[in-house]
Amino acid sequence: MNWTDRFAVIRRLWTYLRDYKGRLFLISMLIVAGIGAELSGPYLLKIILDNHLAVLGTDEEHLFDPDTFWMLVGLYAASFVTASGMNVWRSYISNTTAIKFMERLRMELLTRSQRIGMRYFDRQPAGAIVSRVFDDTESVKNVLLHTAGSFIIDSLRVLFLYVAIFLLSPRIALLSLLILPMFFAFHYITVRYNGKYLKVIKELKALKNTIFSEAVQVMPVLQLFRAEKAAAARYNEANDKLFKNSEKRLYMLHMTDINLNGLINGLLVASLVWVVGSQSLHTAVTFGLLYTVIQYINQICQTIGQIGIRLTHTNDSFVSAERMFALMDEADENWELNQTEEETIARIAFKNVSFGYQPGQQVLKNISFEARRGQTVAIVGLTGSGKSTILNLLQGLYSPNEGSIYVNDREIHTVDTAWRRNRTAVVMQDSFLLKGSIADNVAFLDKNMARSQIHEALSAVGMSQFAGQKDVKGSQHALGESGGALSFGQKQLVAFARALAHNPEVLLLDEATSKVDSETEAQIMETLRKRCEERIQLVVAHRLSTVKEADLILVLHRGEIAEQGTHEQLLQMRGRYHRLYMLQQMGSEVEAG
Ligand SMILES: Nc1ncnc2c1ncn2[C@@H]1O[C@H](COP(=O)(O)OP(=O)(O)O)[C@@H](O)[C@H]1O
Ligand SMILES: [Mg+2]
């Protein structure tokens, strides 16, 4: 990462940091006060040594002033206490500020990532995104503590130290400037090698998280296929690689760290003593001065060593910050805030829509249809024919490659996403339930939803045994992680009730009753029919018996509409639909018999 990129990151971080101006000012004051106190220590000792102790045992012993002497010793001790106090205070404030800041970034990242188009999530596995939100914000926090915080402190300290040495002896100051080029040479080498490992380490960490979260998500499947060992091996492999790379990186960091501090410091003090020992400087340098300057030089070397280590760490933080901002930008690109209206959705239409998830792949070909308020449009077809894809496009999760999708009379991507989503409800094959009660899951984060509305929706899907009781065992029935307490079918029903309770203008059902028995399914369909004049319903269903009553049935085959019409019309065509229907009729007769 070059310095222009870093500068861009810093500028962007600053736009967030501005809100913490007061705290930042306090921190700067504490930094300056802390460094001042720290540097005054050796200087006070110089005065004690040269002006007071030096006279003891000489002819000028009568000049020794005990009062001043003890005051100076007191000040010397106080300088350390003050410096530590300032540092503790500063560290507390900067750490709490950084944590607050990080939580704010996380919140923002989370809210923004919810707006990101589905295409992004297709490219990035869920684990990688979790790792981003947590690891990257953590790293950015470190950027602040180590760049804006410690880096500035350390640089200031070095500057102050040089100024102090310069005031004491300009010639020694020039000599100690030699540290800088040596430091830069070392640092250059460190950063180069470090960067190489860091990139690999970051990628491996994300991979590890992905493997882990995938394994947890599909645990029942893994167990069913007896694939636990293979999954563990996959995780181990990533872990091993990660360890090896981290080990190499740490080894290198330690090498450079030890070399940098010890070597440069030693060389400098040696050359200083040598120069002072030689004639030219002899007269100007007292014992106390020499002591103080050596102290200062030790501090310079230590501080510069720390800067070096921190810079190598900040490099990863910069990379993280950049990735984090990239994620935020991605969200912005996919987010259009145009109009907010009280208008309702009365029509949706596909016009010559073609689409593929990946370039060159055709999942939908030239799809056109229209659905108006009060109509139910059914989509049937074999698995993989593109039924769910049509619903995905309708939710604006993807954009068509060709053709257009209309909401009322506007192109879908020109209408406000929030407006459209508020008026749409979806029930899918896999229903997601949150931790909480069934009632909570029906209301789904809508705290204002009336209890009666929740109960009505639950009764509509035949879950009245949960809706009827008002006590904790009723609809307050607690759900475990992803709704663990219910059967698949029951979860689907809760998801269904959720959709109904929100009283949507567009209801999208994607095999929403696939895990529910035929009887309950028929009952749900009956409920839907009762209220259908108020909305547009798009139903993807497996059992054709459930879509018989639809106003329009689209028969999808390999992404194309092969046949369309009402149930009767399609039966008369004696084509695919007819064949499919007959097969299912036979099936249900066998089932019934
Ligand atoms: N996220 C995705 N990325 C790439 N291909 C996908 C994705 N989702 C579905 N597909 C592909 O699109 C085709 C249609 O899928 P889908 O619409 O889910 O079918 P259906 O719902 O009719 O069973 C399938 O070939 C499937 O492999
Ligand atoms: Mg599907």
Residue 509: its H or E element: strand 506-510
Distance from C-alpha of 369 to C-alpha of 424, rounded to nearest angstrom: 18
Q: Which amino acid is at 69?
A: F
Handedness of CA 536, 542, 546, 551 (dihedral sign): positive
Return the ligand 1 atom nearest residue 391 CA: 17
d(CA 410, CA 530): 29
Residue 358 to residues 127, 327, 392, 403, 448, Cα–Cα distance (Å): 21, 21, 15, 17, 41
Q: How far, in Å, CA of 431 to CA of 488, rounded?
A: 8
CB 357 within 8 A of CB 399: no
Q: How far apart are CA 150 and CA 134, in angstroms?
A: 22
Measured CA to CA, the distance from residue 523 to residue 535 in angstroms comes to 19
Encoded tokens for 345: 């959705």
Parallel, antiparallel, or unpaired for β 364-372 and 536-540? Answer: unpaired
pLDDT at 115: 62
Helix (H, G, I), strand (E, B) or coil at 341: coil
User: How, if at all, do strands 347-355 and 424-427 pair?
Assistant: unpaired
Q: Which residues contact 292 (CB under 8 A, 6 or more apart)?
A: 42, 43, 45, 46, 168
Distance CA 202, CA 197 (A): 9
Q: Which of 343, 353, 365 lies closest to 396 in space, CA to CA?
A: 353
How far is Cα 545 from Cα 460, in angstroms, rounded to an integer?
20
Does 388 sit in the ligand 1 pocket, CB within 6 Å? yes
**What are the tokens at 427?**
């029930």
- Look at the alpha carbons of 316, 322, 325, 330 in this order and tell me if their dihedral is positive or negative: negative
What is the identity of the amino acid at 87? N
Q: Confirm or reject: Cβ of 384 under 6 Å from ligand 1.
A: yes
Question: Which residue from 363, 365, 362 is spatially nearest to 350, judged by alpha carbons?
Answer: 365
- Nearest ligand 1 atom, CA 387: 22
Predicted pLDDT of residue 284: 62
Ligand 1 pocket, residue 559 CB under 6 Å? no
The CA-to-CA distance between both ends of the chain, in Å, stands at 71
List Cβ neighbours of 17 (8 Å cut-off, separation of 6 or more). 24, 101, 144, 148
For residue 485, what pLDDT is reported? 66
CA 429 from centre of chain: 28
Q: Is the CB of 382 under 6 A from ligand 1?
A: no
Going 407 to 409 to 412 to 417, the CA torsion angle's sign is: negative
Q: What is the pLDDT of residue 286?
A: 77
Looking at the DSSP assignment, which residues form a beta bridge with residue 538?
377, 508
Number of neighbouring beta carbons within 10 Å of residue 557: 15
Q: How far is the CA of 36 from the centre of ligand 1 (A)?
A: 66
Structural domains of the chain sorted by starting position, each given as residue range(s) with its CATH number in brackets: 3-328 (1.20.1560.10), 347-568 (3.40.50.300)
Pick the closest to residue 129 from 143, 139, 140, 114 (CA basis).
Answer: 114
Q: How many CB atoms lie within 10 A of CB 219?
A: 12
CA of 544 to the centre of ligand 1 (A): 21
- In this structure, the residue with its CA closest to atom 10 of ligand 1 is 357
Q: How far apart are CA 136 and CA 313, in angstroms?
A: 13
* Residue nearest to ligand 1 atom 16, measured at CA: 386
Per-residue confidence in pLDDT tens, the chain, 593 aa? 677 888 888 888 888 888 888 988 998 899 899 999 988 988 898 888 888 887 777 777 777 788 888 999 999 999 999 999 999 998 899 889 888 888 888 888 777 766 665 555 555 665 566 667 777 788 778 777 766 677 788 888 888 888 888 888 887 788 777 777 776 777 677 667 777 787 788 888 888 888 888 777 777 777 777 777 888 888 888 889 889 988 888 877 776 655 666 777 787 788 777 777 775 555 666 778 888 888 888 888 888 777 766 666 666 677 778 878 877 776 665 554 444 557 889 999 999 999 998 888 899 999 999 999 999 999 999 999 999 999 989 988 888 899 999 998 888 877 777 778 778 888 887 777 776 778 878 887 677 788 888 888 888 888 877 654 443 344 555 565 555 567 778 888 888 888 888 888 999 999 888 888 888 888 888 888 877 788 999 999 888 888 888 999 999 999 999 999 999 999 999 999 999 999 888 876 665 55
